[in-house]
Structures are given as C-alpha cells and as structure tokens.
Amino acid sequence: MSDWISFYDFKHSVIYVNARHRDVHYRTIAEDIRAYVPSPTAQVLDYGCGEAASSDLLAAAGSHLTLVEAAPNVRAALAARYAGNPKISVFTPEEAAAQPAGSFDLIVLHSVAQYLTAAELDRLLGIFRRLLKADGMLIIGDIVPPKLAAPAAALALLRFAAANGFFFAAVLGLMRIFVSDYLRLKKTFGLSHYDEAAMLAKLKAAGYAATRATRNIGHNPWRMTFLARPA
C-alpha cells in the first residue's frame, strides 16, 4: 500500500485528466454517498478519501464528517481546504483507528480496496466494525471484478468524459497511462479483484451482514458497491 500512497500523494495527469474531470469525479461521489447518510445527526467517516473536493456537500447531510487520508500532501491540502468548515475534520489512519468504539453511523471505503492486500482489507474491516455503531453501515465502493477490469474502466471514463465535457482530454489521459508510474505500479504490485461472492464472503467472515448495492458509487457501472452492517 505504501507505494500506492506515495503515487497518489503527488498530482498526476493520469489520475485526473484536467480540473473538470477532478471536480465532476468528486462531486459525483459525494452526491452518491450523501444519499446513504441516515440522518442529519449522523457521524460519517470517509476513509481513503483522496482530494475529496466536494466533501462540503457530504458534510452538509449529517452532523460531522471525518476525512481520513494516508498521503501526507493530500491530507495537508484537505486540512487547508476545509479549515473553515466546523463540520469536517481531517485525520490520519492512525487517528481514525484510535477513535472510541461506536463512533460512526456511516463509514465509507470507496475506491481503496483494490490497492489493499486481502490481509490489509481484513484488518480495516475489523477496525471499521469496532468504530461502527450497532446500527451503523459500512459502504465499500468501486470493487473491481476480476474480468475485463481495464477495458471496462477505460470505457466508463470515456462515457463519463463525454457526458461532462472532457472527452478529448480523457482520450489523451488514457494514452498517458501507458508511460506512467501507475502502469508500472500495477504491473509490480497488482490490484485486488473480487467477484460478488468473494466480497460477500469476506464481509461475512469479518462479522458483517452484507448485500451488493443496486448500483456502484461513482462513474463506473461495471464495478460494485457493497452495503454492510455489523451482524
């Protein structure tokens, strides 16, 4: 995971092809997660949030939003961006793990599991179960299935780009991937893939009752989102 954290700690044109891409990407995610916030009094944890450029939308739906980011430069930018919003805190993973049991109504792990080993994900699932309230919910989004992951991701990006006004920039961005550190890291460390049955089994083993959501959070409809509650 440390190599992926280092990669995402710096701006790359292969992550977001331009500012328009970044903005609509994070707005879409924030709006999708916002629909799951259970009440205006909810305590929400967004773990591995990245740049989280639209977290004010998510924070407005609940009582407080805690953003957790391992990459230090990204975390510092988050703290500066939301310094004036009393409903948003920015934590390290260690600070999040140290919170009291039953602190959160909703925990979100979106587009992170693919960068974790199976053991790393199991450890996080254990932490989240302790942090969740008894009636709380864990959302795990953007789970990458084993088959045709790369072609599906490229097609999803192009469709998203066409709908949001950055299609030609997305085409160039896909071309840049082939000479990027992202591809090198992917070849060296790989990404974790799960089919629906495997992810449901992993969540059950970690002490959750889980189902697959009807649609994925974010722009890629070929990936999966799972909704889990402490069993």
- DSSP 3-state of 40: coil
Could you state, in order of their start, the residue ranges of all structural domains in the chain? Answer: 2-11+19-145+191-230
Task: List the Cα angle 101/138/216 in 5-degree steps.
Answer: 165
At 85 the pLDDT is 98
Which residues, at least 6 apart from 93, have a Cβ–Cβ distance to it below 8 Å? 47, 68, 70
pLDDT per position as a tens digit, 139-167: 999 999 988 778 888 889 889 899 999 88
Q: Between 2.60.40.1120, 3.40.50.300, 3.40.50.150, 1.10.287.110, what CATH number should domain 2-11+19-145+191-230 receive?
A: 3.40.50.150
Of the candidate ranges 46-50, 69-73, 117-121, 158-162, the one whose mean pLDDT is the lowest: 158-162
At 183 the pLDDT is 67
**pLDDT band at residue 93 under the 50/70/90 scheme:** very high
Which residues, at least 6 apart from 172, have a Cβ–Cβ distance to it below 8 Å? 17
Taking alpha carbons only, the member of 33, 48, 36 closest to residue 97 is 48
Q: Which long-range contacts (CB under 8 A, 24 or more apart) does 226-229 make?
A: 226/139, 226/140, 226/141, 226/143, 226/199, 226/200, 227/36, 227/137, 227/138, 227/139, 228/137, 228/138, 228/139, 228/140, 228/203, 229/132, 229/135, 229/136, 229/137, 229/138
Q: Which tokens belong to 178?
A: 């082939």
pLDDT per position as a tens digit, 8-22: 887 665 678 888 888
